[in-house]
A and B are shown apart, each in its own frame.
Chain A
Amino acid sequence: MFGYIWQYVYTSFLRYWLKWLIRQATGTCELQRICSGYKPGALRTTKAEFSLQSSKNKVLKVALETSTNNLEQCVDQIMKEKNIKPQRDPRFKESLHICLLQMTGYSSLYRSVEELRKEVYSSDNPKHEAMLLKLWDLLVPTVRLESRITKQWGDIGFQGDDPKTDFRGMGLLGLINLVFFSENYTMEARQVLSHANHPKLGYSYAIVGINLTEMAYSLLRSGALKPHFYNTVQGVPELRHFHQLYCYLAYEFDKFWVAEEPESIMQFNQYREKFHNIVKSHLQDPEVCLTLTFSSKN
């Protein structure tokens, strides 16, 4: 109760006065102090984001909804509004610009990801079909697919004879992630597949992959991935960065599963939750970088 009252008083009055006081004393505004006080990355961008969000100034507030192309203009406006002289703080403009690219980029990344997720896999779409066949060729280059509808799909962990019903709520996003991992980390993907096909410790490679796409997607949606992207991308995060994160999850989950030696595949959701919690706890660290540690072939 006391916490709530304190928070209310702080955010609505104290914070404002405090900022004003420090501003009078140091001659710099909060955004300037953030940009000069913290190194580039999650710490700086998260603090700047909070500062903009809680600002009562309209120019600062709309910055978070500005499109990428107009951001430079937006930074100029903020500097004018806050009376920041480029001569006195030459690095501020660039720093704030990057922060804003990261913040607005995160929202636009979510929109692009959501678009792919909503695209339903269709057997009538030759692009979708080609992608599916490519996945097979990347994972099992030595075996030919007998036909488009075959039990062989089970060898890479789809449920039935036709993978199209397995993408479900993740739509095309699930397939693109699977292909991205197999294409950019071919050796690792095949290694993970071989673990998945283990007679005792095995799991269904493709549908677990689709499940991990759901994990990546919901982490993105909740905003939990912000520190990761703020640390790893100094600018606008793109789709490939999201696919990279999927690769991290796919590779790390496999490592985790093999190390834990679950009794059977029926325990999947229990271990998935455990893994999910580990990832979430990593994301609490402001220095977090969820990247694969080996180099890719590209």
Chain B
Amino acid sequence: MSPSLCVTVRLTSPPLVTLGGVSKREGKKMGLLSILRKLKSTPDQEVRILLLGLDNGGKTTLLKQLASEDISHITPTQGFNIKSVQSQGFKLNVWDIGGQRKIRPYWRNYFENTDVLIYVIDSADRKRFEETGQELAELLDEEKLSGVPVLIFANKQDLLTAAPASEIAEGLNLHTIRDRMWQIQSCSALTGEGIQEGMNWVCKSVNSKKK
């Protein structure tokens, strides 16, 4: 299955779209996508979300938590997982790509048409903060991801040794990001805490991007 195939933005009502005098035909010229994005709160709009981060960050647990699935039998992700979740009038197609170093070169195959990037960090694994920061910086430099809003989940806050989100934000120099919307959210994919807040931000950023 090619990842790009799954990306469609569609309306449930017939696509008779006229916006400020722009006819459907002209609309096509400037990209149906961009017009549809201008429509606020379109029901069932599909959103492509990319879930990245180092191995053992908790991406798959987060994905399963989003889909309300059992999280007790998770194994390392070889390749990728995908799930669709309904949330606030959106159909979120979430792509969870394995974080192992060996398959990070494949990440770029999934960049195209990404609406929001979610980057997951193991807040308790301080030894790998530098590595995770580097990977994130490289992602933010990617042309195909330019302008894509990024949500950073400071995961595993249920662990006593977890660094607070503020410390991680500072370590990653998040305040220097100027070319896109970004947000850091502390969470625990295990207990579910903080995930809803993060996803609210995701939906909000998709909405504001369309305006």
A contact set with B: CB distance below 8 Å: 154, 159-160, 165-166, 168-170, 174, 203-204, 207-208, 210-211, 213-214, 217-218, 264-270, 272
A170 CB contacts on chain B under 8 angstroms: 73, 75
User: Are B80's CB and A210's CB within 8 A?
Assistant: no
Residues of B within 8 A of A268 (CB): 78-79
Residue among A169, A203, A204 with max Cβ neighbours from chain B (10 Å): A169
Question: What B residues does A203 contact at CB under 8 A?
Answer: 78
Cβ contacts A to B, 18 pairs, < 8 Å: A160-B56, A166-B56, A168-B76, A170-B73, A174-B75, A203-B78, A204-B100, A207-B78, A207-B100, A211-B75, A211-B76, A211-B78, A214-B73, A214-B75, A265-B106, A269-B78, A270-B79, A272-B78
Please report the total number of B residues contacting A with Cβ < 8 Å. 20
From residue 60 to 115 of chain B, which have CB atoms closer than 8 A to chain A? Answer: 71-76, 78-81, 99-103, 106, 109
Q: Which of A154, A166, A217, A269 contacts B79 (CB 8 A)?
A: A269
Question: Chain B residue with minimal CB distance to A117?
Answer: B73
Residues B55 and A165 in contact, CB atoms below 8 Å apart: yes
B75 to chain A, nearest CB (A): 5
Cβ of B160 under 8 Å from chain A: no
7 extra interchain contacts, Cβ-Cβ under 8 A, other than A169-B74, A170-B73, A208-B78?
A: A159-B99, A160-B55, A204-B102, A213-B75, A217-B73, A265-B103, A266-B106
Give the distance to chain A from B4, nearest Cβ to Cβ, in Å.
Answer: 14
A213 CA to B76 CA in the complex, in Å? 12
Top 9 A-B pairs ranked by shortest CB distance?
A268-B79, A159-B100, A268-B78, A207-B76, A165-B56, A159-B55, A169-B73, A169-B74, A266-B79
Q: Which residues of B contact A165 (CB under 8 A)?
A: 55-56
Is B177 close to A, CB under 8 A?
no
Taking chain B's interface residues, is the majority helix, strand, or loop, or is none over half, making it mixed?
Answer: loop
Whole-angstrom distance between the Cβ of B35 and the nearest chain A Cβ? 33
Contact of B106 among A154, A208, A213, A264 (CB under 8 A): A264
A259 to B105, CA, bound (A): 25
Check B5 for interface membership: any CB of A closer than 8 A. no
A265 with B78: in contact, given A154-B102, A165-B56, A270-B1 (CB under 8 Å)?
Answer: yes
Q: Secondary structure of the A side of the interface?
A: helix
List A contacts of B55 (CB < 8 A).
159-160, 165-166
A218 to B80, CA, bound (A): 20
Q: If A154-B102, A270-B1 touch, does A204 touch B75 (CB 8 Å cutoff)?
A: no
Contacting B100 at CB < 8 Å: which of A160, A269, A270?
A160
Q: Which residues of A contact B71 (CB under 8 A)?
A: 169
Interface-central residue, B1, B56, B79, by most chain A CB under 10 Å: B79
Q: How far is the CA of A170 from the CA of B72 in the complex (A)?
A: 9
**B106 and chain A: residue at smallest CB distance:** A266
Q: Which residue of A lies closest to B103 (CB)?
A: A265
- Bound form: Cα–Cα A79–B101 in Å: 63
Q: Contact: A204 with B74, CB < 8 Å?
A: no
Residues of A near B56 (CB, < 8 A) are 159-160, 165-166
Most A CB contacts (10 A, CB to CB) among B55, B75, B101 go to B75
Q: Which residue of A lies closest to B109 (CB)?
A: A266
Question: Could you say which residues of chain A place their CB within 8 Å of the CB of B76?
Answer: 159, 166, 168, 204, 207, 210-211
Q: For B106, list chain A residues within 8 Å (CB).
A: 264-266
Considering the chains assembled together, what is the distance between the CA atoms of A167 and B109 in angstroms?
A: 27
A266:B103 contact, CB within 8 angstroms: yes
A207 touches B101 (CB 8 A): no
Closest CB in chain A relative to B111 CB, distance in Å: 14
Whole-angstrom distance between the Cβ of B99 and the nearest chain A Cβ: 8
